[in-house]
A and B are shown apart, each in its own frame.
Chain A
Amino acid sequence: MIITIASGKGGTGKTSVAVNLAQTAISAGQNVQILDADVEAPNMFLFLDPKVTSETTINALVPSVEKSLCTLCGACADVCEFHAIGVFGTSILVFPELCHSCGGCTLVCPEKAITEIEHPIGLLRKGQTAGSTEFVEGRLKIGEAKAPPIIREAKKHLDRKKLVIIDAPPGNSCPVVEAMKASDFIILVTEPTPFGLHDLRMIFEIVREMNIPFGLVINKAGLGNRDVYRFCDKKSIPILLEIPFRQDLASSYASGEIWINLFPDVQKKFISLLGKLTTGGKRP
């Protein structure tokens, strides 16, 4: 079973929910795999402190032109939607950071002058936590723009036989869609504030369109107002769990602690959340 934690707005508590849920499942004896797909800001390792056993470069395929074969016909530039290759006077130039690795230029080149080479765009880190739970993390290289290929690559390593917990990136565009694809259930996390609600509305539309069962966790409950609750009521969104806004939770999060190890009341909440997930969520 693949469960993805997403939010729309950043900083609502995705990572906290993901690590606490994972830890709860591990304690319950389940075989868990943890996957950090927040590749621009991967934070799960700060809580789980895994022993990293392998680190491999993630590459994107970008064109490389054999100048002796190139006739500067410009067919490659004509088909490239991303302006990643072009003929300028008597030379042909490739801009790897604009390339989407679609392979179009290689296919169209009448001289077969274009091959694809690897361009490093990130890291895949794998390892084990102290309790020998498998940990996988994608990490975008600084200066590289495209998160989705890193997420796709990390997700190639997911193990469907296990309970997979995926921490998604924030936002409402392509990276979060990539992280949520092929999930069996999505946990949305929000906070009961106007910003939280605004971004929840957007991610709600995406999840509904993807037609994946989902439910909501309200973090920092007690802050803000009741508008998020009214929205859930109106849209029949199941509220799976509320985590109160509390100083002790905030400060243990700050120092990278896992709540369920410190607070029995929170542990109880996560045990009940895990129970709800295994009995299945409600389809929107």
Chain B
Amino acid sequence: MVDMEFTAWFGKIKLDSEGKIEDCDFFDKDPEKLAKLVVELEDDVQAVPLKRADLRDAALECGFVELDEEYDILLRDVCIRAAKSQISQTDTDDSRIIQAVQALDDIDKNVNELSERLFEWYGRYFPELDMTGEELARFVSAYGSRANVPEEHRLSEKASQSMGAELSFADEELLRAFANNICSLYDTRRYIENYINTSMGSVAPNLCNVTGASIGARLMSMAGSLQKLAAFPSSTVQVIGASRALFKHLRSKAPSPKHGIIFNNPVIKNAPWWQRGKLARALASKISLAARTDFYSGELSPSIKEALDRKLESIRRANPNPPKRELQTKPQGKGGKKTHRGKRKGGKR
């Protein structure tokens, strides 16, 4: 009868064609070693015979373990070790960048909120101050009360004649501390941005080259990893970040989105509206190419960017003027529209 071999977590099993055990070759009962083997077998998938003896039966029959409980305890130990080692290997370069991108978004959200609060709060004491955001935070942290604004400062006159209330010492300290925190958030933000720029250069040089570090990192973050981004078709890359518009398009008759977050690339942002869709399509296709090159080779290949620039130029040249909008052939223009809307309201959406 034809023999089949199959590696289980505790050893190699030889089966006959009926799936019955002919022979069994154990591994050492060392949990650490067994765990390593379990991980290897998961990555390097073996052919598994459908007709095969049950693993537990095999282990008991061949005497690898004597009791059910022993099987359970050892298997559990091995699998927990295996899973832990697999988890610790998941901290990859792109996962670090993705965390950084998300931290950046969190900081942006929070710093805006805090800055607005500082604007409202400090405005009670110096309403003439024409600053917001980081500038305001730096000002408050430097001077505190408007009485401390030095004479040579451009705002010293406004400060001395302000209609704002007097700021008590305790409140001044509090506001300064608050402003200090906001300043340090802005510092951290810059720090993270630098980190993303430098690590994107080494993790995804082509992506950086084609669309810039920050959009590249953002695309990676939304895709989930560089690998996933590389696996996406470029039509998906084109609309990453426009999921609401995309699903609206799929569900109803809404027009399809032309661009997702790649819109933030100046190529598209600064283009006239009639070129945007075409440019976005070209850009997305090169982004896909860049992501794939980054994931599979990691080498910078300048030809991608060059080809993109040529393509963009030819699109611009081919479409210099806005297309004429076709007149809608609706009877009686406005009136028709109105009844249409009225109809929609009650019906299914």
A binds B: no
Contact surface of B with A, Cβ cutoff 8 Å: none
